[in-house]
Chain A
């Protein structure tokens, strides 16, 4: 029982990060139909920039804020210089552009930072908390709380503010949104900025547990993409649920089946879900236009 609890907690912690990456995918996908494979690089930039600013003597909280700002600038640059000029290109061309961007960012990180693994001090120490026989790191609770705060804030922003509604309108129908006077280009840019900020925060939250290096982005992008698809692309609820579920699956598979085959089990479940529900868990059936 305590074993199961332990697996569930570690699964939820990792899953929370997948959920944030998947949420970033969803935001950008809804605003621009782009699957952004550079999403994992935002997580890497958030963690690595904080580490190196802190090493340079900047106080940790300030370093974290600066890292988020820097990542947002990178996100906006990605939109302005790589995605916007290719507007109207096919989906797979846009994907290759974001893959090019992720190779570029990884290359830049390896030049500006280094190729070693780095960590950040946990926010509330390293003393595990005992719950029902399982040991939980305080940082795990920080991660889960952080994800909850981000999801609530994002929901409030989208549902309760005028700008949020403009984003929803842009996602629903670009042309109609422009007709009612919404600057759709700016809204899409805003989604890239938000998505970058969420990625950077995910990096800040998880680095004390999993460490970071210049190349952590690829795997995170892959897992986040899988999580978003498992939930049903375009659905924010689906992204969060998909992320948590993927994390749980991996942790349980690692615990009960084999740690070498944990990714295999996770992807096998994703394949089976998609065979039964071709639109993911929370996706809507589309209307095919002829």
Chain B
């Protein structure tokens, strides 16, 4: 049992069990919908977590890649006559290509300079989505054609729950494998000390670019799922606040922890939904919770709790 818990995919298995059991307590379709959103954002957060937790690079523009994925599944079928699944894949390819091209110059920057450069990049994309109304519907956004799997259109909150849960679990498994691969260890070395890692013969630039491209694809896939699930998208999907929200999910849940991304996403998706009951006080409470978690659990929710549990057992 203990050996099983120690296995590197143990946390993915636990999350899968949670995903299967959770619907048993859902009283209505609304719960399926919110949970599906949690998994979608958790998928984007897992990708960003690879960049932040593993490579130690911050991106304040990752929602830009979500935007590429989201608008791909909207524009492809609407304007270009492509099937949704092909648009979905093309969106991912386009995101990877964009990340590859901008990643090289951007990742040379460090710390807060990297933050402002990625912020600028995300903003540029959001501005394009807002202003190219002929293609994107402008600030009001556009409708996203329904996804059809094997000829039958996907409808219903429960179907989307399962699609997003499975997508998230696949993403989490791949991420966990990457963390434990030679690339993952090289990235961890870069995180600890880039100069030292370079002395050890690690091609820091290449490794960082690789994880940047991978995290962009995660964000793009999450963006596509979000658009298909929502049925309508606006440029907000790629906005600055969305990018900040993704970073907050990673840091609140725990930088470097795959399960943490799910917890962080759950917190920031579910909390605003429940806080609407407080009406005007919604934002005050949200701000207080974010500050409180960071002050008292500064390593993030999952790593801090796991640490406390381990200390108790010892």
Residues of A whose CB lies within 8 Å of any CB of B are 35, 82, 85-86, 89-93, 96-97, 99-108, 110-111, 218, 222, 225-226, 229, 233, 260-261, 263-264, 267-268, 270-271, 274-275, 278-280, 288, 290
Contact = CB atoms under 8 A, between A and B. Distances in A.
Contacts of B255: 90, 92
A159 to B, nearest CB: 26
Interface stretch (B32-40, B89-97, B110-118, B181-189): B110-118
A133 B109 CA distance: 43
B124 interface: yes
Grouping DSSP codes into helix (H, G, I), strand (E, B) and loop, the B interface class, with mixed when no group exceeds half, is: helix
B146 interface: no
Given A96-B294, A99-B290, A261 B284 contact: no
A63 B120 CA distance: 37
A268 B124 contact: yes
B58 interface: yes
B290 A96 contact: yes
Nearest to B199: A290
A279 B110 CA distance: 9
Contacts of B52: 92
Contacts, number: 126
A278 B290 contact: no
A93 B288 contact: no
A101 B287 CA distance: 6
Nearest to B288: A104
Contacts of A271: 106, 117, 120-121
Contacts of B105: 275
Contacts of B121: 267, 271
Interface string B170-194: 0000000000000000000000011
Given A96-B251, A100-B291, A290-B193, A264 B128 contact: yes
Interface in B256-314: 280-291, 294-295, 298
A280 B115 CA distance: 13
B244 interface: yes
Given A97-B291, A271-B117, A111 B280 contact: yes
B314 to A, nearest CB: 24
Given A111-B281, A290-B196, A229 B287 contact: no
Contacts of B214: none
20 contacts: A35-B115, A97-B291, A99-B290, A100-B289, A103-B283, A103-B290, A104-B291, A106-B283, A107-B284, A111-B280, A111-B284, A229-B113, A233-B113, A267-B120, A270-B117, A271-B106, A271-B117, A274-B109, A274-B116, A290-B196
B241 interface: yes
Interface string B231-262: 00000000011001001100110010000000
Contact of B113 (A89, A104, A279): A279
Contact of A96 (B110, B194, B252, B288): B252
B127 interface: yes
Contact of A229 (B106, B108, B116, B248): B116
Interface residues of B, number: 49
A62 B117 CA distance: 41
Given A101-B291, A280-B113, 15 more contacts: A82-B295, A89-B294, A89-B298, A92-B255, A100-B289, A100-B291, A102-B287, A103-B290, A106-B283, A107-B285, A225-B116, A260-B131, A264-B127, A274-B117, A288-B194
B195 interface: yes
A270 B287 contact: no
A72 to B, nearest CB: 20
Nearest to B122: A267
Given A89-B294, A107-B282, A225-B116, A261 B127 contact: yes
A105 B112 contact: no
Nearest to B282: A107
Interface in B211-234: none
Nearest to A272: B105
A86 B253 CA distance: 17
Contact of A107 (B108, B120, B252, B287): B287
Contact of A100 (B58, B128, B130, B288): B288
B123 interface: yes
Given A96-B251, A278-B108, A82 B291 contact: yes
B89 to A, nearest CB: 28
Contacts of B251: 92-93, 96
B287 A264 contact: no
